[in-house]
Amino acid sequence: MSEHATTEPAATAVASPEFDKREIAQFGNDDGHAVTAIGRMLVIFFFYSLIIMLGVTLWTWIWAR
């Protein structure tokens, strides 16, 4: 067993694309839909939280009188 590292060049492999241009375009389209859906969910959650906070504030203000 040798303690020296070998410096043999690796075998040259020809890289083939895993996805064609049509599939890449479809991924981009799908990502666009996902971003839109996530954005909508965040906006809805923000307004839901705002309404709940306003309701609790009013409830506390009325109760504390």
Instruction: Tell me the two tokens of residue 59.
Output: 């409830």
pTM equals 0.59
Give pLDDT, residue 20: 86
In which band, very low, low, confident or very high, does the pLDDT at 11 lie, cut at 50, 70 and 90?
A: low
| Interatomic CA distance for residues 32 and 34, integer angstroms | 5
Higher-scoring residue by pLDDT: 55, 65: 55
- Tell me which of 61 and 19 has the higher pLDDT: 61
At residue 22, the 3 state secondary structure works out as: helix
pLDDT of residue 12: 67
pLDDT of residue 18: 86
The one-letter code for the residue type at 6 is: T
